[in-house]
Amino acid sequence: MRPLGIEGAWVDTPRVFTDDRGRFHEWFKSDAFHEAVGHGFHFEQANCSRSVRGTLRGIHFATVPPGQAKYVTCVGGAVLDVVVDIRVGSPDFGKWEAVRLDDTTHRCVYLSEGLGHAFMALEDDSTVVYLCSQGYAPEREHGINPLDPALAIAWPAGLPPLLSEKDAAAPTLEEAERQGLLPSYEDCTAYRGSLVGGNWKLSQNGGRRQP
């Protein structure tokens, strides 16, 4: 795993083994993750989406704490995956970075709590799967318009974006900041710091505890 240009985001390019039967790769390894990020990754939910070419999903984020960290990969087709720094007070505020995820390189992107996430399908039937540190909670979920001209994300030219009504109606980054929806860099850093050294374990009754 190597860090992206936005603090709190990483990309992993796994080694892929191929033979006449097909391919194999390890798309998540807890020890490599911990070494790169500085803490483990406990996930509450795993999502899978299939999209037609041009589908644009995001920019999505969740209130911090606890936020929602994501570990994202593409298992069919290809997408342009985008991480956006929406943390008020961050030195990278308003910056974005794009990574192509596809079923050839099998790259994965990890974005920590407080970062915005979006992707565009570059092919029909593009299938994205991602692990989430927290389950879906509508009251904590928010969005920013991915076509915000101030962000100026370089979505592929000549590919008309297909947005949901909810994403198309989402506020711009400036509007979301005025509305008090954006997480603060300080809160995100503090929350991530609380995860360092933590070791999630299952208790006998099936609950979670962090020593």
Domains and CATH numbers, the chain: 2-201 (2.60.120.10)
List residues with catalytic annotation: 60, 130
Q: pTM score, two decimals?
A: 0.91
Amino acid at 38: G
Q: What are phi and psi of 185, to 5 degrees?
A: -60, -40
CA 161 to CA 180: how far, in whole Å?
Answer: 28
3-state secondary structure 75-132: EECEEEEEEECCCECCCCCCCEEEEEEECCCCCEEEECCCCEEEEEECCCCEEEEEEE
| pLDDT tens, per residue, the chain with 211 residues | 999 999 999 999 999 999 999 999 999 999 999 999 999 999 999 999 999 999 999 999 999 999 999 999 999 999 999 999 999 999 999 999 999 999 999 999 999 999 999 999 999 999 999 999 999 999 999 999 999 999 999 999 999 999 999 999 999 999 999 999 999 999 999 999 999 865 433 333 333 333 3
57: closest CA among 161, 171, 169, 172? 161
Q: In 3-state terms, what secondary structure has residue 151?
A: coil
CA 150 to CA 92: how far, in whole Å?
Answer: 14
Structure confidence by residue, pLDDT tens digits, 87-126: 999 999 999 999 999 999 999 999 999 999 999 999 999 9
Which two three-digit tokens encode residue 208? Answer: 């979670």
